[in-house]
Amino acid sequence: MSSDKLVKDLADKARIAARTLVAADYKTRRNALLAIADAIVANSAVIEAANNVDMTREKSGGMADSLLDRLHLTPERIAGIANGARKVAALPDPLNQVLRERTLENGLHLKQVTVPFGVVGMVYEARPNVTVDAAVILLASGNSALLRGSSSASESNAILVKVMREALSKTAISADVIQLVPSEDRESVRALLHARGSVDLVIPRGSANLIRMVVDESTVPTIETGAGVCHVYVDEFADLVKALPVTLNSKTNRPSVCNAAETLLVHENIAKNFLPAALVALDKAGVILH
């Protein structure tokens, strides 16, 4: 089967399944998200075992330590993924919200109301947690998910999608709202980006190179995400007792992820009081300062 046909078939299944999302109230969608969270916790050992296969393969292949850290799923991180799904489930319903409305001079009443996109493709790199994060956010907002992760996380992504689909099969939401595009086929990315008419939106998540490639090549509408370069700004009126641990955590909690701090900006009026302590703490934590 060609990559184009494969992606189209997956997208068609996702679109048909999306009808169960459109018909569902938010309580039903929320229950589906909670079912996913519970299933991830219940299958933590199986998920970790699959991730170990990816880790062993990529470590022997010379993957950089920073990328290995992004790939790695520990029991704590798996629990964190499930907790993230529960947090999304606790948010207000994003659909059918009136953002603004007005009546024209001719009496025509206009409303801007939030609705789903439809079938959303996600293209991302060696971060298996994105598989769940993306699926959960898309389901909560009434969209089907077409997931295309990195081949380096193939085993992890496959088991996570399997667990989520099995969880959905026990709810009122069709399991087909989550589809995994095979990562072993490099052409599948191109097929996904050119699936205009089958896929409504593509969102890249990863390096600047990945984002640029998706935005430049896609004939499907895209949402361009950031590639990092995150700043911490300490204002002159900041609580410096809180600012120091926040600054330290923003860089050292998980330095390999794209939202780790890379730039520290300090208001000139508190620089003399804050910077000496901050520089000592960052240096002690092994942070290289430029």
Return residue ranges of the chain for CATH 3.40.309.10: 230-284
Cβ pair 28, 172 in contact under 8 A: yes
CA distance 42 to 154: 21
Return residue ranges of the chain for CATH 3.40.605.10: 3-217
CA distance 208 to 214: 10
Among 26, 12, 36, smallest CA distance to 171 is for: 36
Res 253: pLDDT = 83
Indicate if the alpha-carbon torsion angle 274, 279, 282, 287 is positive or negative.
positive
Res 227: pLDDT = 62
Cβ pair 260, 230 in contact under 8 A: yes
Cβ pair 227, 247 in contact under 8 A: no
- Which one-letter DSSP state was computed for residue 153? G
Res 55: pLDDT = 98
Res 137: pLDDT = 98
Cβ pair 114, 89 in contact under 8 A: no
Architecture of domain 3-217: 3-Layer(aba) Sandwich (3.40)
Res 8: pLDDT = 95
The residues that bridge with 265 in the sheet, in sequence order, are 233
Res 256: pLDDT = 67
Domain 230-284 grouped into CATH 3.40.309.10:
yes
Indicate if the alpha-carbon torsion angle 50, 31, 86, 135 is positive or negative.
positive
Show the low-confidence residues of the chain (pLDDT under 70): 226-228, 256
The pTM of this model reads: 0.83
Residue 277 phi/psi, 5-degree rounding, is -65, -40
